[in-house]
Structure formats: structure tokens, C-alpha cells
Amino acid sequence: MQSREELRRLEAKYGITAWFYDILDFPWELQYRHWRPGLLADVRGKVLEAGVGTGRNLRYYRSEASVTGIDLSGAMLRRAARRSRQAVCPVQLRKEDVTTMESIPSAQFDWVVSTFLCCVMPDHLQPLAVAQFERILKPGGRFRLLEMIYSKDPCLRRRQEFFAPFVQRAFGARFDRHTLEYVRQAPKLKLLGTRFLKHDTYLLIEGQRSD
């Protein structure tokens, strides 16, 4: 019951935030748009993008991909639908809860991609989402998750702490999630590697579902 209420509040937040999300996110998108082509260059086959948001990634998928983008917010999906016209691959968008994925069949996807979804999710709901990633991937299927975490550099950490209240109010995001640990605990997900795209804050988590 508590989980459903938290998700309902998050959906309501993004019902409002969607109207000006791209404006709020613009300073960060100046950096992210340089990363997106590389993040998606080798992604092919059936792809589930979890937390598709306003569809910033859609134009960068290769023609060999077929993308199902899900999001909790219908308002965000309506903006993603406009961006999907720029895609060179088939795109299907669905309103879906990433912690249950009731409309998504098991063992059907070659890839799960997610950029900045888990830092928005309450920490105790993340194992539910990771379990769904595990369920919907084919054996041998890959996943790639990009998240933000707190830096160990004191100067950068202070800057993050300054912006943290705004980031949480506007996006519901926090820098203290434990996504990597939940991936490590998933019995059928194999961690292939992690690396930082910038400083020690933008963490890329990559792995594979075991057979």
C-alpha cells in the first residue's frame, strides 16, 4: 500500500513537471546529449527503455533496434511520442509501472536501457524494478543503467548537496540511492562492469542476464 502511494505521488509530480521538464533539465542536457550516441551505439534487437521520460534517447537508437519505452507518467509519454518521430527504429510507448511491468512479457528483450530512472525511485522500490529487469531480459540479454551518485570529492560533494533540495523537489531524484548494490544482489543478473562518465558522480552500470 505504501509503495503504491509513493508511486502515485511520483506520478502526480511528473504530471506537473512534464510541462517544463526539458527546460529544467536543459543545463544538464548540454552534457548528456554528447553521451547518448555512445551509450546507445551498440544497442540492437528488442529494447526496453525503462523511464523513457520525454524521449531524449529515442533519436539515438540504431535502425537495428526495436524500442518499447515505458514510463509511469502519461504526461511525459506524450512528450516522448513527439520525439519518437525522430527515431530511425520502431518505437512503442506504454504507461507502465517499472516495479511490476504487468504488460511486459518475460524473457523477451535483448536489452534494458535506463538513464536516471533509479535515482528518481525511492530506494526500497529499486529491488522491485531490478527484479523486473531480470525477468523481462532474455538469457544473455544485456542491461545498461546510468545513474548519479554522491561524489567522494569534498568540494564536488558540497556542490551536489547545494543542488540536492532542488533536484529532489523538481525531479524526485536523490544522489544517495543504492542501485549498484541491488544489481549485485539480483540472482540472475551478472555485473559486467561499472565506470564513471564524469568525475565520480555519473555511474554507468552494465551487465547481463545469466542463462
| C-alpha span between 162 and 180 (Å, rounded) | 24
Cell numbers standing for residue 84: 519518437
Contacts of 181 (CB under 8 A, 6+ apart): none
Find the range with the poorest average confidence among 16-25, 57-66, 126-135, 199-208: 16-25
Mean pLDDT of 122-149: 96
CA angle, residues 185, 50, 58, in degrees to nearest 5: 140
Q: Give the H/E segment covering residue 5.
A: helix 2-17
Q: Are strands 109-115 and 137-148 parallel, antiparallel or unpaired?
A: parallel
Please report, for the chain, the start and end positions of each structural domain, with discontinuous segments joined by +.
2-209
CATH 3.40.50.150 is held by the domain 2-209: yes
Mean pLDDT to the nearest integer, 157-175: 92
The pTM (predicted TM-score) of the whole model is 0.94
Backbone angles phi, psi at 52, to 5 degrees: -65, -20
Mean pLDDT of the chain: 94
Cα–Cα distance, 68 to 112 (Å, whole number): 10
Q: Decide which of 153 and 8 is more confident.
A: 153
Per-residue pLDDT, averaged over 72-100, amounts to 96
Number of H helices, E strands in the chain: 6, 7
- Rounded-to-integer distance, Cα 170 and Cα 81, Å: 22
Per residue in 1-17, pLDDT (tens digit) is 557 788 888 888 888 88
DSSP assignment of 40-88: HTT--EEEEEES-TT-TTGGGS-TTEEEEEEES-HHHHHHHHHHGGG-S
Average pLDDT over residues 65-93: 97
pLDDT higher than threshold 90 for residue 200: yes
CB 96 within 8 A of CB 72: yes
pLDDT value of position 2: 58
**Mean pLDDT score, 73-97:** 96
pLDDT classification of 18: cutoffs 50, 70, 90: confident
Higher pLDDT, 137 or 2: 137
The β-bridge relationship of strands 202-209 and 189-198 is antiparallel
Residue 144 cell numbers, joined: 545498461
